[in-house]
Structure 1
Amino acid sequence: MLHEREGRTKFRLRTAAPSAALAGFVEYHWIVSWDLDEPFAQRVVPHPNVHLVFEPDGALVHGVHLGLFERRLVGRERAIGVRFHPGGFRPWLGGRVADLTDRTLAAGELFGFEGAEKAVLDAADDAGLVAEVEALLLPRLPAPDPAVERVRELVGRIQSDLSLTRVDHLARTSGLTVRALQRLFNDYVGVGPKWVIRRHRLHEAAARADAGGPVDWAALAAELGYSDQAHFTREFTATIGTSPARYAAG
């Protein structure tokens, strides 16, 4: 979330772990509630995850968004989302996750539970929301897919190692060719490994800026593997819509 500290004053966000049966596919459930007289727009720099979201307007599946995602909040409402692991939605979809990239579909088209959002959102509390969602998903549980765990491990490696800044580096450490990595990521994640690497660097940069205090942008650019500060600034500005220094200033 961009400017997360401000956003936390406008809405309440909680997360819940999935049941054991879903844990191989689902990273967590998230629940957002708000009570606002004036509209508020929260912007998010998406991760490489597919989300299934239940909100008053319907149940939607959001593929990986390449740009910023903005959600306008007003009134008194709540929503619950299922954040699938990178690659974790592939067995549910039964096709290339790249076909969902930058798309939002009605969940009924994929799962066949039109109108389910009312029963879900009528739940009395957070535990009830999660239980209602899992009751819809568990009967549709796909067979285990070993490639999902492989993709999770590769994405986790990118996210835990800031020195991993090139696809050929990931290829060497994984034992896969660059071409095989690209096919695997497009099939299971919806975007290529280069996009995941670049997006994680921007998440890290935005998090440093949000933390408050001075930031040595040249040093951070070098730490994140950019050729120079100018390259880092161009990429940050193109994605976030403002320069790193202006974003940090609020």
Structure 2
Amino acid sequence: MERSSELSWAGKGILQYDVNHQKFELTRYQPSIELAPFIKHYWIVRWDLRDQEPYQQTILSHPNVNMVLEDGQARIFGISRITSTHLLKNKGAVLGVKFTSGGFYPFWNQSLDQLINISIAADKLFGEEILALAASIQQANQVYSKNTETENIRWVIQLENLIKRRLPKRDASGEKVNAIVDRIKNNPHITRVNRLANEIATNPRTLQRLFHRYIGIGPKWVIQRYRLHEAAEQMDQGELLDWANLAQNLGYFDQAHFIKDFKAIVGKSPVGYINTVNSLDH
């Protein structure tokens, strides 16, 4: 079981990662070749904050469904339109699966727009074995482990085997969605749906239907979310940016709309966010 090599995107979506990553350990593992069309990676977060204050981490989600095993429970989380927060306290570990953008639909066979901002019980799709694995992880958190890497790999292999037993047929449309989302992520010049549609030789309405079925949300949202990840990463360096230029790069017509949306999604203005980063860094 190999660790994921997506180092350039290691902290994207984890707000203020550079300042706060010492509070926890995040490890990612690649899926087997058989599962690669469906699963982006497995991830494990561990923390030990005994004798420390609890820590609240804010996440700006990617356009992906995640399955999370934590506190003896297993749930499947759809995309969150705004940030989500996670409280870390005492000692613990969480095991998760990040599905590819088009990879969860074949398991569920329903439009993903029904999962936006909600979660469902994972055992509905993956059986009671997923709850047994979640319970074993919760139990392991209560004892000291000399080799967390070995334990991590054991958990991931168990989870992958559970998923393999319910593996659907490969889905050409889902894999097309994966390729389109990778194109958006890796090409910052894509800031408009029309431009994306032209580049992949389709029309915007077809793209809309495809994204809503397989991801649960439209291509405009996906484009802006990836550009927002890039902006947040720059802000995490404490940089005061050219807001007008940034707004244009994110696909906004003016700076005011960008600031309004940023505050609605993140909970504070861009300048307020940078001030928070600088205060944490000092």
- The aligned residue for residue 6 of structure 1 is 19
1:120–1:132 CA contact under 8 A, matched in 2? no
Structure 1 alignment gaps of length 5 or more:
none
- The aligned residue for residue 117 of structure 1 is 134
- The aligned residue for residue 196 of structure 1 is 222
RMSD: 1.7
2:94 to 79, 83, 86: 79
Deviations 1:60-113 (A, max 9, x none): 101111111111111111011010110110111122111111111111122222
What letter is aligned with 1:11?
Answer: F
- The aligned residue for residue 45 of structure 2 is 32
Structure 2 alignment gaps of length 5 or more:
1-13, 141-147, 277-282
1:120: Cα distance to partner?
5.0
Deviations 1:134-175 (A, max 9, x none): 121111111111112100111112212222222222222222
What is the alpha-carbon distance in structure 1 between the residues aligned to residue 161 and residue 68 of structure 2? 15
> What is the TM-score when the length of structure 1 is the normalising length?
0.93
1:34–1:73 CA contact under 8 A, matched in 2? yes
Determine what percentage of the aligned residue pairs are the same residue. Answer: 40
- The aligned residue for residue 47 of structure 1 is 62
What letter is aligned with 1:172?
Answer: N
Structure 2 residue matching 1:140: 3-state secondary structure: coil
What is the alpha-carbon distance in structure 2 between the residues aligned to residue 116 and residue 31 of structure 1? 14
State how 1:49-198 maps to structure 2 within 5 Å. 49-113=64-128, 114-120=131-137, 122=140, 125-198=151-224
Which has more strand, going by share of residues?
1
What is the alpha-carbon distance in structure 2 between the residues aligned to residue 220 and residue 176 of structure 1? 27
Moved more, 44-53 or 229-238: 229-238
What is the alpha-carbon distance in structure 1 between the residues aligned to residue 151 and residue 265 of structure 2? 36
What letter is aligned with 2:71?
Answer: P
Deviations 1:195-229 (A, max 9, x none): 11121221111011012344232332233332232
What is the alpha-carbon distance in structure 2 between the residues aligned to residue 167 and residue 236 of structure 1? 20
2:267 to 225, 231, 241: 241
What is the alpha-carbon distance in structure 1 between the residues aligned to residue 101 and residue 169 of structure 2? 17
- The aligned residue for residue 145 of structure 2 is none
Q: How many residues align?
A: 250
The question of 1:211 aligning with 2:228 is answered no
Structure 2 residue matching 1:8: 3-state secondary structure: helix
Moved more, 184-193 or 106-115: 106-115
What is the alpha-carbon distance in structure 2 between the residues aligned to residue 58 and residue 184 of structure 1? 31
Change (3 A) 1:82 1:10: same
What is the alpha-carbon distance in structure 1 between the residues aligned to residue 254 and residue 114 of structure 2? 34
